[in-house]
Amino acid sequence: MGKISFMRLKGSQHLRQRLVLATLSSTPILIDDIRHEETWPGLRPYEVSLLRLIEKLTDDCIVEINETGTKLKYKPGVIIGGKHLVHDCGLSRSIGYFLEPLLLIAIFGKKPLTIRLAGITNDSKDPSVDTFRKVTMPLLKRFGVPPEGLYLKIESRGCPPLGGGEIVLGVPIVPNSLTAVTWIDEGMVQRIRGTTFSTRVHPECEKTMTYTARGIFNRLLPDVHVFGDHRSGPQAGKSPGYGISLFAQTTSGCFISTDTAVSYARVEETDDYDDERKELTPPDEVGEQAASTLLGEIEQGGVVDSTHQGMLFLLCALCPPDVSKVRVGKLSQYGIETLRHIRDFLGVKFVIKPDSATETVLLTCVGCGLKNLSRKLS
């Protein structure tokens, strides 16, 4: 084997995007200084778990981590996919953290993927599995990912700190490449849908969240439905919690989403995670907050919400060499970092133009022309 030249990176930030982009562009990466100045240095359990997950999906990839975990060497392999894979996502981050990179890698695999993921389905830090099912998946379809075989089934729910949730995810492969989009019409919000869930708490919590959320929407729109998903017994996981996922569907088929969940804090969390609340936020406030966040997202415009900006840009950049044009509201920090990483890995630079009339941002790019090569390898 010849000498491998690694792309050198620093710090723990945006590890998921780096791994995704490294895998898709077959760029070996070497990351230094991962939390080297912190009391608890090195990779976190969830990051290691993500690396293990990528190892399961790919063939011949090399992952090397030094003793302290502050240095990571990753040489991507061939994306394989496959049926009936199983992965335990652990309890330090929710399944939502893993889904995003998993989807992007899996669509460029050799075989369609079905995987069972265990861990936390809903928490306040990552997009929930509900949001994923209702909003992220339609986003993929827009870019030409075949709808057959794209599904997410929530077998059981799990909240922090003990989890116990389980989902089954199916991801089809892209036959050749994605399709570029011109997607600048946000349309008008025509309906609002949502799901509430509760595990190991009284189902009344859900009704309260729905009631207060509706209270805010009803002055704008009558078409609001929030479905309840109360779980009990083994399907409710191991910890008490409740939460709400909301999304607005527009006349042009855009989805704007938000979600939140409350539960007791994780035990192993360090000081710098400041959401160690002793008391849970009452359900009426949760409903109101979620509804307000959604209206905030709708107000700022764009064809996706702030949470999905990163995903949107990545998909645009992975398109064939064709022009994609999209509109977003205010650029999120995560979105900006994504744009930078896209430039570093794929050499795709977006033209970013503010649209002063609507206070939105228009982004145009020519895709890097990624083809599904794994499929052709026998």
Residues 139-198 that bind other proteins (CB under 8 A): 184-190
One residue of 135, 366, 368, 370 binding other proteins per CB under 8 A: 366
Smallest gap from Cβ 247 to other proteins, in A, equals 14
Residue 168 vs 216, nearer CB to other proteins: 216
Instruction: Please choose, from the candidates 158, 240, 225, the residue with its C-alpha nearest in 3D space to the C-alpha of residue 195.
Output: 225
One residue of 159, 262, 331, 346 binding other proteins per CB under 8 A: 331
Smallest gap from Cβ 37 to other proteins, in A, equals 7
Smallest gap from Cβ 377 to other proteins, in A, equals 27
Smallest gap from Cβ 321 to other proteins, in A, equals 9
What is the DSSP secondary structure assignment for residue 159, as one 8-state letter? B
Please name the helix (run of DSSP H) or strand (run of DSSP E) that holds residue 152, with its range, or none.
strand 151-156
| Per-residue 3-state assignment (H helix, E strand, C coil) for 164-189 | CEEEEEEECCCCCCCCCCEECCCCCE
Q: Is 34 in the site for other proteins (CB under 8 A)?
A: yes
Report the DSSP pairing between strands 72-75 and 29-32. Answer: antiparallel
Site for other proteins in 344-363 (CB under 8 A): 344, 349-354, 357-358, 361
Residue 17 vs 49, nearer CB to other proteins: 17
Report the amino acid identity of residue 93.
R
Strand partners, 86: 116
Report the amino acid identity of residue 125.
K
Q: Is 78 in the site for other proteins (CB under 8 A)?
A: no
Site for other proteins in 216-245 (CB under 8 A): 216, 219-222
Smallest gap from Cβ 297 to other proteins, in A, equals 8
Residue 80 vs 328, nearer CB to other proteins: 328
Residues 77, 81, 83, CA angle at the centre, nearest 5°? 150
Smallest gap from Cβ 302 to other proteins, in A, equals 11
- Specify whether the CB–CB gap between 353 and 313 falls below 8 A: no
Site for other proteins in 3-32 (CB under 8 A): 8-17
Site for other proteins in 247-266 (CB under 8 A): 251-252
**Which residue blocks in 72-203 are alpha helix, DSSP H?**
95-106, 129-131, 137-142
Please name the helix (run of DSSP H) or strand (run of DSSP E) that holds residue 87, with its range, or none.
strand 82-88
Q: Is 279 in the site for other proteins (CB under 8 A)?
A: no
Size of interface with other proteins, in residues (CB under 8 A): 75
Smallest gap from Cβ 91 to other proteins, in A, equals 16
One residue of 38, 60, 64, 204 binding other proteins per CB under 8 A: 38
Residue 179 vs 372, nearer CB to other proteins: 179
Q: Token pair of 50, please?
A: 């993500």
Site for other proteins in 280-319 (CB under 8 A): 289, 291-293, 295-296, 298-299, 301, 305-308, 310-311
Q: What are phi and psi of 115, to 5 degrees?
A: -145, 140
Smallest gap from Cβ 59 to other proteins, in A, equals 26
d(CA 81, CA 169): 12
Smallest gap from Cβ 110 to other proteins, in A, equals 27
Q: Token pair of 262, please?
A: 């409350």
The edge-to-edge listing of strands for the beta sheet with 113-119 is 82-88, 113-119, 165-171, 151-156
Contact pattern for other proteins over residues 96 through 135, marking x by CB under 8 A: xx--x-----------------------xxxx--------
Instruction: Please choose, from the candidates 95, 97, 86, 145, the residue with its C-alpha nearest in 3D space to the C-alpha of residue 120.
Output: 95
Smallest gap from Cβ 286 to other proteins, in A, equals 11
Instruction: Please choose, from the candidates 103, 155, 146, 162, the residue with its C-alpha nearest in 3D space to the C-alpha of residue 127.
Output: 103
- Specify whether the CB–CB gap between 51 and 63 falls below 8 A: yes
One residue of 60, 340, 371, 377 binding other proteins per CB under 8 A: 340
Neighbours of 20 (CB within 10 A): 26
In this chain, which stretch among 33-41, 111-119, 225-233, 370-378 interacts with other proteins, using CB under 8 A? 33-41
Residue 111 vs 343, nearer CB to other proteins: 343
